[in-house]
Structure 1
Amino acid sequence: MKFSSIVRKNFTHNFNKYISFYFVNSLIIAMLFMYGSLIFNSIIIQSIGKVSSLYGSVKTSLIGIILFSIVFITYTNISFLKNRGKEFGMYLTLGMTTRDLIKLIFVENLGIMIASLLTGIVTGALFGRLFYMGLNKILIETNILYELNYKSFLLSIGVFVLIFLGNFIFNIFYIRKVSIIDAIKANKKKEIGKANLLIGIISLIILIILLYCLPKVLRGEMFRGKSYMIGIFVASFLICPYMLIGSFIYLIKRLLSKFPKLYNRNLLVLSNLSHRFLGYKSLIYMLSLLVTGAMFFVGFSYSDYFSIREDVNLYNPYDIMFVETDEYNRVEKEHIQNIIKKNNGEIEKYSVLEYIKVNIFTVEGEQLAFFGDKNVISETNYNKHMETSIDIKLDEALDINISNKEIEGEYSAATLVTMDEKQLEEINEIASQENDYLLSKKDYEKIVGENDKLYLSKDKIKKEKGVPFINTKNISNYSLGTAFVVDDKSYEVLKAGIRSSSIKKVHLMNIKNGDKAFENLVNYLREESGLDNSYWNEANILGGIATDKNKDKESYRPIYKEELIKAQLDKKGIRLFTMIFMGLLFIIANGICLYYKVLSDIDEEEERIISLNRIGTLGKEVKSIISKELAIIFFLPILIGGGLGVYLLYAVVSCYSEITGLIMKKSIVILLIGAIIQGVFYLISRKKYTKEVVG
């Protein structure tokens, strides 16, 4: 018989096995093609370098999907190879050499690879439009058009070919180590399930304790300030199930033994699973972690996406904000009001808050720590702006922060100091990063000893958090969100000793119908600042470091809250879409991995079924036993992993009590969808398994 005849007959005989392996490869290529096309999409490429860019999220996600593809295809290849041990043993017995086997496998895999590439790319191209439609449903501001690019084809083909070559090299080493005896007996070896009841009970107790303590640790109610404890608790939370899985069947048997009728009815199922469970232990644990990751990351990205408006409102209490300096945005309040009104905007509140940037030093033992500058507001300006009547004494300061979160550490004694450019350079040279921003009191006195300063002892600095006095903005030119409020006299002394560029005003507005009004406000301020139309076309949303003149000018563009929300919805929307996409892939991978594992046990189970038939077990009873066994094997990862993922998500988001309930409801829906997909794989596997074993 010719080699080509062997290949053809082998393909015909193992057609069903090839089809499943081909399906996995084709699915991965289609996925790579659809998601890879985003990298080379013109709209995505145009976002490179922009702070609100989608490119970074897409690139990171693509790397994750490529890594997933490598692991998944490699696993299916190994499973496919090991499942054919009896077949390889037969070929070796008939006189085939390992070289012939390698050639046979190469021809088979090459055929599968070519067929998978063709159908995968065609499928990816056809369903790509649906893929983009789903993405654009999530994105708010950006509409990404579906484009076919030759680079997308090269990417998916290149990644898959590299995976194919890597797997083929593995196949060569695997075949060379195969002996006739090992290959023939591969399917005859039974794994004996061993379980330790004590270890199972201890693991269960530890897991219950972890379930109780983990939310408290994450919220800082336990082990406060010891961040490493979070890692220890999460790691223990994920390791305990492995010990439990090993004792699962034994614990179930002990529990059911208390109910004799139920125990006797399921005796054959439990006995067989006891023998098989050790072989499934590691796989079920890994698949449970896969489901845990899918549940957690999909749920977390959803909560992150859902809370965008709330977060933006929390750190941006005003709809519009822009900073006025001696060079940019020097305008009168009345002119701004007129522009807003002319464009159908309705001003609900308009406040102009002056502040100064003053250098700050804190006492660190026998040294001083230099942390740059601090925003300082006068008592009168603050009271007028916030409509309050606080009284700050001459040697006191109120440390206000827009954030409502607890900030670790407190100011020790601090000194606000005015310095000129030369003094600032000297201080920076001494208190460099290499010196941890520390300098001696002697150097401090030598450089700024005679300058105007305000000394504040630790007990004179009062803290107040959650103060909505300004919008948050952190860039190199200015940092807004926190400030010292000081007495008017202290403020005037400090103001007199600083440069004019350190005196700024913040215009803060709450308005209705602001879209058109903001657009015209940007045009007006651009013109007043002497800038042309090449500037201020897009918001510098997340901040950045001004390394050149253009970026310095860009940083003074007005900020509009709705613009921030839309940009964040786009940025986090693509992350949510990716997590949902990958979550579905993880669930599908879960089903396929179990499918291959179950198929690998068919030969062994045929012998068990023959034994059951000999003792008079009916075909209907055999099918019932198979259904129960497969149901436990298929749904246990969803039960364990889904439960862990949902609880871990709850532990993380529980500090946001106002949205925790909604997030949990959505996560349950996601878990049910995963269970339905797993159910489909269970039904397919059961049908295939029953047909092969029972006939």
Structure 2
Amino acid sequence: MTFSSIIRKNFTYNFNKYISFYFVNSLIIAMLFMYGSLIYNPTIINDIGKTSVYETVKMALMGIIIFSIIFITYTNLSFLKNRGKEFGMYLTLGMTTKDLTKLIFVENLGVMVASLATGILSGALFGRLFYMGLNKILVGSNILYKLNYKSFLLSVGIFVLIFLGNVIFNIFYIRRVSIIDAIKADKKKEVGKTNNIIGFVSLVLLIVSLYCLPKTLLKEIFKNQYYMTEVFIGLIIVSTYVVIGSLIVLVKGIFSKSSKAYNRNLLVLSNLSHRFLAYKNILYMLSLLVAGAMFFVGYSYSMYSSTVEYVSMDNPYDIMFVETSEYNKVEKNKVEEVIGNGKVEKYKVLEYLEVPVFREDGDSLLLWSNNQPVISKSNYNKHMGENVEIKSEEAINITIYNEKRNYEYPSSILTAMDEKQSEKIRNITVENDYKLSKEEYEKILGKNTKLKLEKNNIKEEKGIPFTNRRDTKNYSLGTALVVSDKEYEVLKKSTRVSSIKKLHLINVNNGEEAFDGLISYLRDENGLDNSYWNEGSLSGLTSNDERGDKESYRPVYKGEILKLRLNDNGMILFTMMFIGLLFILANGIVLYYKVLSDIEHEKERITSLNRIGVLEREIKSIISKELAITFFMPIFIGGGLGIYFLYVMVSNWQINGLLIKKAIVVLLIGAIIQGIVYLISRKKYIKEMVK
């Protein structure tokens, strides 16, 4: 028999195993190709800096690459291990490890070439559907599907590197395997040990950590011990591993309370005791895999579906722009005229100051902020229709976002300064981690107006819709300090003119038309040509030059922010959906390989059951229950952890209940996919076991 005939017969015999191995590789290449085409797409590249779409695609591609390396390596190792008898027979018949290495290399090369061909072809063909799905999610944008040679080079290059890495691994694996080891490779039981006491303690630690983690983040407990957050996360991850191995003991204890239920499931529980110990590592890793998929897909889906609510919370006004001594100097009645009479539902103008804030840091002062917004009591009351009272050396810290966690504004010094003093302070603090000695502070500022606020005299008010939230290089809006009229006027008289600003906040009933007219009017008033203010951005970031200054004062329109945010969240959702689908498929495929590799060992147990009179339908029922528990345990544990960590992440937000409901929908979809893989595996398993 020639070497080529051995390869041919070997391929025919292991065809089913090759198909699954080939399918995994082909799927990953197709994913690499499609995301490669996205990262080199001109539309995506042109959006760099405006939204986080490019960064999202790049992050997703890195995730797929890392996943590809780990998963292909795992399937390769499983493929080798499950052929132990075959390799042992070849070695017994006189084949050398060199011949065996060559055999495996030729096989893998054939799988690689076939996977590359079909993976790239399917990626190119289904890429159009991929882009159609993406464009359905995006709002007002259309990303054209274009084949790019860089996409081919990327997917081929990454896969070839993974292939070469596996070839090197296979060479070392074969050289170190003896005949006996090869024959027994697929029979080695991965049985560990369990300790009921350790399992119970781990369960208690897990429950306590799950309870304490969100409370620690909200500073309800361990307020100043930030490291406890990491401690509880570590305990959750570690204790989950121990609990998985001891879980069947707990289940047995529950069933033992009912002798009828215990006796009915005795055989299932007995075999699961072994299976959970043997599968402990795999079940744990798959649970983490599902938890990651659940967390990222659930978070992205809930954020996308709640985009309107979030944008509305951050933008209570349809249109906002900032007026300074240099930019956007207009009169309210003129703006109303430009927008259109009868089209303005609400128009407010709020004056505020931008004041540098220092905080004591030992013997030094820390420049905490260069542009803390400060509002007078009268202006605030008029703007919000309130009647708050503020005494001297007191303040209210107002924020537009409504968080559950309480924030204590620390003791601060508000200081008015001119341009020269500001430049001196900036030069010193930039070189010294924003620190300034008290002597230098007094020397530079001298008798400048200062307002010291003790933290006990600063009240916090959350969820105050006094402005739209926006951060640019020239202003930051979303929080402000409200002080007494007297102290506000003292600060105003001493501060530089450029720090006195006005917020124009408008609600209209013809948003897009009004905004376009306002943009055109303000562009002319500022002496800007048509190359300015053409596109908005989510971040508000601009270049650090004169053009960037002008771009930063572009008006903000809620409708435009909503479209950008929907596109941003839509891209994240679309990306995470595919990665999550990969993770769920990987979970099913790993269990598929693991369960089918145990068929030979389980046949002995089934034979024993037949001998003692257990009927075929009873055996099928036992198998179905065992596989169902094994397959759905990662979904149950991992999905639960994913939902939990998502809850912890959004526990500080007021609409966290809405996000969790959306995420549960994702978990149900993942369970359905896992159920399909379970049914396929059960059919194959029963077919092999019951003949």
With normalisation by structure 2, the TM-score equals: 0.93
Q: 1:262: how far off?
A: 3.7
1:240 partner letter:
S
Q: Deviations over 1:218-262 (max 9, x none)?
A: 333222243322222222223222212212233333443444444
Q: 1:354: how far off?
A: 2.4
Looking at structure 1, the residues matched to 162 and 635 of structure 2 have their Cα atoms a distance apart, in angstroms, of 29
Distance 1:622 1:425, change over 3 A: same
Q: Deviations over 1:386-422 (max 9, x none)?
A: 334445556554443333345644332524232341x
- The SS at the match of 2:348 is strand
Structure 1 residue aligned with 2:174: 175
Structure 2 residue aligned with 1:296: 295
Q: After the TM superposition, which residues 366-377 of structure 1 pair with which residues of structure 2 at under 5 Å, given as runs?
A: 366-371=363-368, 372-377=370-375
Structure 1 residue aligned with 2:146: 147
Distance 1:376 1:166, change over 3 A: same
Matched, 1:11 2:11: yes
Q: 1:667: how far off?
A: 3.0
Looking at structure 1, the residues matched to 452 and 276 of structure 2 have their Cα atoms a distance apart, in angstroms, of 70
Distance 1:457 1:214, change over 3 A: closer
Conserved 8 A contact 2:347-2:506:
yes
Structure 2 residue aligned with 1:508: 505
Looking at structure 2, the residues matched to 43 and 443 of structure 1 have their Cα atoms a distance apart, in angstroms, of 51
Q: 2:479 aligns with which of 482, 491, 501?
A: 482
Tell me whether 6-15 or 256-265 shows the greater mean CA deviation: 256-265
Conserved 8 A contact 1:191-1:276:
no
Looking at structure 2, the residues matched to 18 and 596 of structure 1 have their Cα atoms a distance apart, in angstroms, of 12
Q: 1:67: how far off?
A: 0.9
Tell me whether 501-510 or 458-467 shows the greater mean CA deviation: 458-467
Tell me whether 213-222 or 233-242 shows the greater mean CA deviation: 213-222
Q: Deviations over 1:530-567 (max 9, x none)?
A: 11111111113313264112211110110011111211
Structure 1 residue aligned with 2:99: 100
Q: 1:459: how far off?
A: 5.6
Structure 2 residue aligned with 1:31: 31
Looking at structure 2, the residues matched to 255 and 462 of structure 1 have their Cα atoms a distance apart, in angstroms, of 52
Conserved 8 A contact 2:508-2:514:
no
Q: After the TM superposition, which residues 209-228 of structure 1 pair with which residues of structure 2 at under 5 Å, given as runs?
A: 209-228=208-227
Q: After the TM superposition, which residues 237-316 of structure 1 pair with which residues of structure 2 at under 5 Å, given as runs?
A: 237-316=236-315
Structure 1 residue aligned with 2:345: 348
Conserved 8 A contact 1:400-1:485:
yes
1:592 partner letter:
I
Conserved 8 A contact 1:312-1:565:
yes
Structure 1 residue aligned with 2:415: 416
- The SS at the match of 2:402 is coil
- The SS at the match of 2:328 is coil
Q: 1:683 aligns with which of 676, 679, 682?
A: 679
Looking at structure 2, the residues matched to 260 and 397 of structure 1 have their Cα atoms a distance apart, in angstroms, of 68
Looking at structure 2, the residues matched to 248 and 14 of structure 1 have their Cα atoms a distance apart, in angstroms, of 36
Structure 2 residue aligned with 1:426: 424
Looking at structure 2, the residues matched to 329 and 366 of structure 1 have their Cα atoms a distance apart, in angstroms, of 42
2:227 partner letter:
Y
Q: Deviations over 1:109-138 (max 9, x none)?
A: 111111111111222222222222222222
- The SS at the match of 1:351 is strand
Q: 1:6: how far off?
A: 0.4
Distance 1:54 1:631, change over 3 A: same
1:583 partner letter:
G
- The SS at the match of 1:195 is coil
Looking at structure 1, the residues matched to 611 and 388 of structure 2 have their Cα atoms a distance apart, in angstroms, of 92
Q: 2:496 aligns with which of 491, 495, 499?
A: 499
Distance 1:373 1:33, change over 3 A: closer
2:436 partner letter:
L
Looking at structure 2, the residues matched to 669 and 459 of structure 1 have their Cα atoms a distance apart, in angstroms, of 45
Structure 2 residue aligned with 1:567: 564
Structure 1 residue aligned with 2:447: 450
Looking at structure 2, the residues matched to 413 and 123 of structure 1 have their Cα atoms a distance apart, in angstroms, of 61
- The SS at the match of 1:274 is helix
Q: 1:682: how far off?
A: 1.7
Distance 1:494 1:605, change over 3 A: closer
Conserved 8 A contact 2:302-2:663:
no
Structure 2 residue aligned with 1:162: 161
Looking at structure 2, the residues matched to 187 and 374 of structure 1 have their Cα atoms a distance apart, in angstroms, of 67
- The SS at the match of 2:356 is strand
Share of identical aligned residues, percent? 63
Q: 1:614: how far off?
A: 4.4
Distance 1:614 1:51, change over 3 A: same
Structure 2 residue aligned with 1:67: 66
Q: 1:269: how far off?
A: 3.1
Q: 1:300: how far off?
A: 1.8
2:683 partner letter:
K
Conserved 8 A contact 1:25-1:116:
yes
- The SS at the match of 2:340 is helix
Q: 1:375: how far off?
A: 2.8
Conserved 8 A contact 1:7-1:104:
yes
Distance 1:522 1:178, change over 3 A: same
Distance 1:168 1:381, change over 3 A: same
Looking at structure 1, the residues matched to 385 and 639 of structure 2 have their Cα atoms a distance apart, in angstroms, of 51
Looking at structure 2, the residues matched to 35 and 458 of structure 1 have their Cα atoms a distance apart, in angstroms, of 50
1:437 partner letter:
K
Matched, 1:110 2:109: yes
Matched, 1:529 2:522: no
With normalisation by structure 1, the TM-score equals: 0.93
1:677 partner letter:
I
Distance 1:495 1:201, change over 3 A: closer
- The SS at the match of 2:321 is strand
Q: Deviations over 1:10-65 (max 9, x none)?
A: 111111111111111111112222222211222111112x3324111111111111
